[in-house]
Amino acid sequence: MSEDARPQVKRMRLRYAGVCSTCGTPVAAGAWAEYDRGSRTIRCPACTAEGEQPPAEPGIAAPAVPEVATPAEPPSTRQLVMPGEEPIDPGVAGASARREHERRIARREQRVRDKRPRLGGFILAVTDEPSSTQVWATGAVGEEVLGRRLDTLADRGVRVLHDRRIPGTRANIDHIVVSGAGVFVIDAKRYRGRRPQLRVQGGILRPRTETLLVGTRDCTKLVDGVAKQVERVRTALAPLEATGEIPVRGMLCFLDADWPPVGGAFAIRAVDVLWPKKLVQRITTGAELDSSRIDQLHRLLSTAFPIA
């Protein structure tokens, strides 16, 4: 079947948890929902035509789906919407990384089965994914964990955008946060058991250089990536600068890292390097922007950086 002939909306059992695009209700992994390929969104059973599961195939019992209590509308979906305005879709944290991971798995499986038609299934069963594929799943988990934590801050005036595409490039921004403290461009990293450190060399007789080490590995390129994202966000906000300065800050948030008991956070080239709890403290402390300004910036950025 050609790509154009495939149905845009498909009712399916979800491989990953998501949020209904209509009512904002979380939908658990394994539950039935409608998936829209065009917008890459889902709709829960309650918002579909009849809210029923598809019939099981003949001779096959339909797997039981655990009942999930319908919670109150999550804080991340309770946004101020003025008359005539469309509600803002915050996106799904880690969605593009998940898709890339699945794409690489499918390509590897096809490649192995084409090369070894008889033994392909066995080879796939007894071998691990390449590290270049696993890293996408690891990254997706980091974005999802941090995304859930950021979503809980809506009642504290924090507005979030997840997994946003940078127009004209193949890159994306993990999270954009707008709060009373300003605008924050956040890159989530999951480097288990390794300690982020700042190494400074020179400064008096030689030029000062700053290097980000994670364990023994030079990861300064991560700082460069966040700095470029910050510039993109500043450019998008430029039309509003005439009405007041807008503080924009880049952040590298390391999850599961070996942070010391005391201290540990630092800044390198105007990018903060920290952990989730410290990040939450930073973005919820300060009153540079009022609520109307926060909503204005949130809406502008949601348009400037579409869902990836």
CA neighbor of 158 nearest in space, from 250, 78, 93: 78
Do 283 and 147 belong to one domain?
yes
Indicate whether 21 belongs to any domain: yes
Does residue 159 sit in the same domain as residue 272? yes
Q: Report pTM.
A: 0.69
The reply to whether 137 falls in a domain is no
Range of the domain at 27: 1-61
Please indicate, yes or no, whether residues 32 and 152 belong to a single structural domain of this protein.
Answer: no
Backbone angles phi, psi at 216, to 5 degrees: -110, 5
Number of domains forming the structure of the chain? 2
- Minimal CA–CA distance to 27: which of 62, 68, 77? 68
pLDDT for position 78: 38
Sheet holding 9-13, edge to edge: 9-13, 32-36, 41-43
pLDDT at 109: 84
State which residues of the chain have pLDDT below 70.
1-7, 14-19, 24, 26-30, 37-38, 40, 49-85, 242-243
| Domain match, 300 and 169 both | yes
Residue at which a domain ends, from 61, 83, 98 = 61
Bridge partner list, 210: 200
Is 298 a domain residue? yes
Length of the chain: 308
In a domain, 215, yes or no: yes
Q: Say yes or no: 158 and 41 in one domain.
A: no
The one-letter amino acid code at 234 reads R
- With pLDDT > 70 as the criterion, what percentage of the chain qualifies? 80
Output 67-74 pairs: Cβ under 8 A, ≥24 positions apart. 68/26, 68/27, 68/28, 68/31, 70/25, 70/46, 71/25, 71/26, 73/23, 73/24, 73/25, 74/19, 74/24, 74/26, 74/151, 74/154
- How far apart are the C-alpha atoms of 27 and 18, rounded to whole Å? 5
Domain assignment present for 72? no
The answer to whether position 106 is within a domain reads no
Question: Which of 39, 61, 83 represents a domain boundary (last residue)?
Answer: 61
Task: Select from 308, 285, 164 the least CA-distant residue to 229.
Answer: 164
Q: Is there a single domain that holds both residue 57 and residue 152?
A: no
Is residue 238 one of the residues assigned to a domain?
yes
Tell me which of 61, 89, 107 is where a domain ends. 61
Confidence (pLDDT) at 66? 43
| 267 in the same domain as 174 | yes
Beta strands (DSSP E) in 65-207 are 159-165, 172-179, 182-190, 196-201
187 is a domain residue? yes
